[in-house]
Structure 1
Amino acid sequence: MTTSPEINTLAELRASGHVQKSLREELRDNLLAKLAAGEDPWPGMHGFENTVLPQLERALIAGHDVVLLGERGQGKTRLLRTLATLLDEWTPVIDGSELHEHPYEPITVESQRRAATDGENLPVAWLHRDERYVEKLSTPDTSVADLIGDVDPMRVAEGRRLGDPETIHFGLVPRANRGIVALNELPDLAERIQVALLNVMEERDIQVRGYVLRLPLDVLMVASANPEDYTNRGRIITPLKDRFGAEIRTHYPVELEDEIAVIRQEAQLSAVVPDVLLEILARFTRALRNSPAVNQASGVSARFSIAGAETIAAAARHRATVCGEDAVARLVDVQTATDVLRGKVEFEPGEEGREGQILEHLLRTSMAQAARTHFGGLNFSPLVEAFDGATTITTGEHVTAEHFLAELPELEASNLYDEIVERLDADASAGHRAGAIELALEGLYLAQELSKETADGQTIYG
């Protein structure tokens, strides 16, 4: 954040050559400037480059209010919050103005009186763009007073007439004048409350207790909604839906790389998690989204894989603390994620009692896909032949990487272990090396080349 301009009066603002723009002009000009300069206006938004973002950019250039429709965990709220970066960093307002009025255009009675009294000495303050984005979760208990405003009984008690505009206590939308108002989960808003927004979005005025205040509000209304909410909890009323200039459908990442990028970006990891484990989580999440056993109307949120990555990192940190090694996640930690993520997936009614089996099956499938992708073409014969019926390798939640590596059978005239590590671009540390070889052993087990027994948090390959 830079410091605000050193301009404190209306006269100084005029002398600076400042040009007043409407909110939509400001958003459009800044968006076009970024596009012309080759800058990314939407940092951190992965997988929307060719679908959602072009639609949103066209809507902003057209000056439309926008509603984003999509299942949970598709990045709708993050995308709405990114809109604030398209505003000017600092914008002038009348100092003390309740509705952030521009010094060139006061709209309330109080500000007009101050402008007439102070003239060119009208005090000017500067508002940062972060303060021009207002977000409201549309809960059923939201009232018209919360969004639009109501008569303030304290001001009436002070002696003002009931019809005096100065008795009005303004709600969230008027207070966001010259800014962006984001309503999350719009269908949860009671229908009678949605009606109160009709004038704001079309005529740009507000009505409070029968008084029509002709305030030329300059706000951009954006909203998010889950399509299933139209039948389960509520709906967007038709007149309000008609007033949104653009209805944009969001989606989960189409490419595996975008799914991995979202996990890496959003997860708060307490240990090192190799890329291949994030890939397995991403494949696991995508398999759930395609499974007929999962309720796809509910969706499988990106938060599923993000929480999974954080759980895997926590398991690695736990082992590192107990066993005294570097905190590097390995394949043995992936299993811990399924134990705590079951509640984040909605299964079809006919699958009751089989939830654990479904998760286990899809996780094994994801591991097998990752192993085939990275180890395809490697000759594992020396490793398979080393298991002569008596040789076994033990790994598990409390088996250190050094102990696991020490148990590996020696492979004469073969550098297979090094090739396995190279295929995953892993470094030479014990944790990364052990994790890579564990994935190879699991791949051999899933290909029915090795056997595996699991009990008490330990896995024995033989």
Structure 2
Amino acid sequence: MSTEEALSFGLIPRMHRGIFAMNELPELDDLVQVGLFNILEERDVQIRGYPIQFDIDLVILFSANPSTYNRSGKVIPQLKDRIGSIVQTHYPSERDQGIEILQQEVGNDLDGNYPVQVPYFMFQIVEEITNQARRSKYIDQASGVSARFSLANFRMLIASARQRGVVHGEKPAVPRISDLGHIYSSSLGKLELDLMGTHQMSERQVLDAVVAQAIEVVFKEYVEEHGLSDIAEIFRGGVRVEVGDMLPSSHYAERLRQVPPAWNKAFELNASENDAVRASCVEFVLAGLYSMERISRSQRFGKIQYEF
């Protein structure tokens, strides 16, 4: 062991004149963190067991989740003191910024052998669900919501739309509000409830409340722009519209032929002659009116029926 041939420099010295990135810094043993002192402060390396010391030129980047996310360890104060600068990232401050990130992460998921066309209001609702979850009094604000929450929910939405498209031969497939009924699978486990609070609600109940609030927030914005609340007057005549994630788009087209042309306002949301896009707009307006308590809703055998 005293021969020079046995000398092992380790990972960091081998990165001389380079960049060394280290993930999950708190998980390092305290003694290992102490071993980083000299490198960060004096910029030199000492090899244990050998009377050798030499300068080293490199940049070390650490990453770590907030302490509330990671209970396996901590960064010792002395090491924090030697880190040159700390940059704290955060969630998107605006919904549109979150949608841009979501669209970027989705990548080619919308293409492929079975393309998917997503109305913009569905992007807004998916991202608003995440925003509402981060503000919810039922969810632990310290640990927040998984950064993959929006992406996982959106991919589940796409999968549900594709399944309907394959069954009914609709191309492109278009997500609807009724597809949100499947996001329990993609959402559960990504929310940390506030167990210390007085609200005794299950994770599923919390998710239902968050989704309802998100639909209401987005719909009210469209009401201000398009005046969609007028459509509620149609239901005064006892009109009923049945929706469901596996109903074909033609079902909606046939049903809407029996109601006044006031529905044309709804189709200004996402101008298209495609029955699948129009069906998505119909469900959005119905769910929005229900969130504003303008119409009632009942559910039976997996299908939802809206009426005045």
| CA separation of 1:272 and 1:425: change in aligned 2, threshold 3 A | closer
Mind listing any 5+ residue stretches in structure 2 that lack a counterpart? 111-115
Cα shift at 1:409: 4.5
1:330 to 166, 176, 184: 176
CA distance in 2, matches of 1:277, 1:311: 13
**Of 242, 252, 269, which aligns to 1:404?**
252
2:221 is aligned to 373
Do residues 384 (structure 1) and 233 (structure 2) align?
yes
Cross-structure match for 1:283: 128
Give CA-to-partner distance per residue, 1:34-71, whole Å, 9 cap, x none.
xxxxxxxxxxxxxxxxxxxxxxxxxxxxxxxxxxxxxx
C-alpha distance in structure 2 between counterparts of 1:231 and 1:460, whole Å: 45
Query: What CA distance in whole angstroms lies between the structure 2 residues aligned with 1:402 and 1:291?
Result: 38
Flag the structure with larger Rg: 1
- Distance in structure 2 (CA, Å) of the matches to 1:212 and 1:408: 86
TM-score by structure 1 length? Answer: 0.60
Contact 1:294–1:346 (CA under 8 A) maintained in structure 2 = yes
> For 1:312-331, what aligned pairs fall within 5 Å after superposition?
312-326=157-171, 327-331=173-177
The verdict on how the C-alpha distance between 1:178 and 1:281 changes in structure 2, with shifts beyond 3 A counting, is same
Aligned partner of 1:185 in structure 2 is 24
Contact kept? 1:383, 1:411, Cα under 8 Å:
no
Residue equivalent to 2:113:
none
- Residue of structure 2 equivalent to 1:355: 203
CA-CA distance at 1:421 after TM superposition: 2.0
After TM superposition, give the deviation of residue 306 of structure 1 in Å: 0.9
Per-residue CA deviation, residues 207-231 of structure 1 (Å, 9 max, x unaligned), is 2332254343221111122232598
2:267 matched residue in structure 1: 421
Alignment of 1:3-402 (within 5 A): 162-164=2-4, 166-228=5-67, 232-267=71-106, 269-270=109-110, 271-326=116-171, 327-349=173-195, 350=197, 351=199, 353-376=201-224, 377-378=226-227, 380-381=229-230, 384-386=233-235, 388-389=237-238, 391-402=239-250
- Residues 315 and 333, structure 1, Cα contact 8 Å, conserved in 2: yes
Give secondary structure in 2 for the equivalent of 1:169. coil
- Contact 2:69–2:143 under 8 Å retained in 1: no
**Corresponding position of 1:81:** none
Q: What is the CA–CA distance in structure 2 between the aligned matches of 1:418 and 1:328, rounded to whole Å? A: 19
Question: Separation in 2 of the partners of 1:229 and 1:242?
Answer: 21
Q: Which runs of 5+ in 1 are unaligned?
A: 1-155, 157-161
SS across alignment from 1:449: coil
Structure 1: how far apart are the matches of 2:298 and 2:177? 15
SS state at 2:22 partner: strand
- Give TM-score, length-normalised by structure 2: 0.88
- For 1:421 and 1:297, the matched residues in 2 are separated by 41
